[in-house]
Structure 1
Amino acid sequence: MLVIHGVTRSRASRIIWLCHELDLPFRQVPVIQGYRTADPDALSTRSPEFLALSPAGAIPVIEDDGLVLSESMAATLHLARKHGGPVAPATPAEDAQMLQWSFYAATAIEDDALTIQMLTRPEATDEDREIIDEAIERLERPLKVLDAHLSANGHLVGGRFTVADLNMAEVIRYGWNDARLRDAWPAITEWLAGCQARPGFLRMWEARLAEPV
């Protein structure tokens, strides 16, 4: 059975969501980020047994029939290819496009989207708000590309929901708590709502909300 190491309040959410889309059973080992716990006995990214599996000390990690992968998008792309179905690439061209959009999410969008998520809080300072404004400004170029593509195609690849949409949606989610982004990019907002209405996402999100903050 597939083993997912990592709490759902982490990038493990991407893998868990995909497993629900694939009806793929898995066992979850709730490794928590080391910075989130002061309990020396808690299973965390600083625990020796986890570091033996993942020397980088970062979640998620999967074990799949002897294969160990420690990057969430590598895991989702691998599992989609392995198990097939509509979320997986149907052709080599689709495979390449799914890689392209997943890498675009990770390299052009994720850092700034995470900045917005982390600094959007009631106690945000003027400096925090300035950093958020700068992140929104940097996101204009990649989000313009994404919005135009979704306006024309509805989904990222093949006119259907795929692992590429899942990977991108989990990145976009970080920044979409800012109304300026939701209002500026309506096609992305509509597409994200559709992704997050899927039963697979809702099952993952229910489990995520049930975990301690």
Structure 2
Amino acid sequence: MLKIHGIARSRAFRCIWAAEEAGLPYEVVPLGFAPGFKLERPLAINPNNKIPALEDGDLVLFESLAINLHIAAKAGAPLMPTGDDASRVMQWTLWTGTEVEAHVMRWGYNAYIKPEAERIASEAAAGKEALDLRLAVLERELAQRPYLVGNGFTVADLNLACVLYGPWLNGYDLAPFPKVKAWLDTCLTRPAALRARKLREG
């Protein structure tokens, strides 16, 4: 039984979605936030004191995208392919963490997450400008194939789509990126994604 520490309205959403896609039994151990985006209580199993964290038997992991790679590896193909495609999954997952997420958060904090009085329009604009450059890369890639790796959905798609979930749900202008928009629509309306989203949005 996987134990996912966190709440669905956090990055733990990503891990819940991965567990749903993998068809693995899991339990959410609720741990949310106090005011100021701080945890309501310490999480000793994560040295960073952040959520999510995963317990899988004796294995303890932190970092949501790494957790998802572990979950996908337990499930195997098609969620985690083999050979060169496994390397491509790693590539896109690292690209998500290094090239995309910071710009998503810069835009998001100043577009809808922070109280309106605390938002800085110039920061939202800078985040969008940087994110648009990455979305242009993604648009070109998705012009060549329907998913990031081959012709089927993998954990690479899940990891990137879950990072882009906030913009997709909260009015980001995806009109210049129609293939990205269509791909996100497909990923985020998969049955497993809908089950995870129900926990987050419900």
> Are the aligned partners of 2:103 and 2:131 in contact in 1 as well (CA < 8 Å)?
yes
Q: Give the residue type in structure 2 aligned to 1:45.
A: L
Paired with 2:190 and 2:57, the residues of 1 have a C-alpha distance of 28
Q: What is the aligned counterpart of 1:144 among 118, 132, 136?
A: 136
Q: Which residues in structure 2 correspond to 1:70-149 (within 5 Å)?
A: 70-91=62-83, 93-121=84-112, 124=116, 128-149=120-141
- Unpaired runs of at least 5, structure 1: 38-43
> Are the aligned partners of 2:2 and 2:54 in contact in 1 as well (CA < 8 Å)?
yes
Q: Cα offset for 1:120? A: 1.6
Task: Report the 3-state secondary structure (helix = DSSP H, G, I; strand = E; otherwise coil) of the residue aligned with 2:132.
Answer: helix
The superposition leaves residues 74-102 of structure 1 with CA deviations (integer Å, 9 ceiling, x where unpaired) of: 111011112213111222x1111111101
Segment of structure 1 superposing worse, 135-144 or 162-171: 135-144
Q: In the comparison of the two structures, how many residue pairs are matched?
A: 200
Segment of structure 1 superposing worse, 20-29 or 129-138: 129-138
Paired with 2:179 and 2:50, the residues of 1 have a C-alpha distance of 33
In the alignment, does 2:189 pair up with 1:189?
Answer: no
Return closer, same or farther for 1:56/1:152 CA change in 2, 3 Å cut-off: same
**Partner residue in 2 for 1:45:** 39
In the alignment, does 2:10 pair up with 1:19?
Answer: no
**Partner residue in 2 for 1:4:** 4
> Are the aligned partners of 1:76 and 1:163 in contact in 2 as well (CA < 8 Å)?
yes
- Unpaired runs of at least 5, structure 2: none
TM-score after normalising by structure 1: 0.86
Paired with 1:65 and 1:131, the residues of 2 have a C-alpha distance of 42
Q: Considering fraction of residues, name the structure with more helix.
A: 1
* RMSD over equivalenced CA pairs, Å: 2.1
Identity in percent? 35
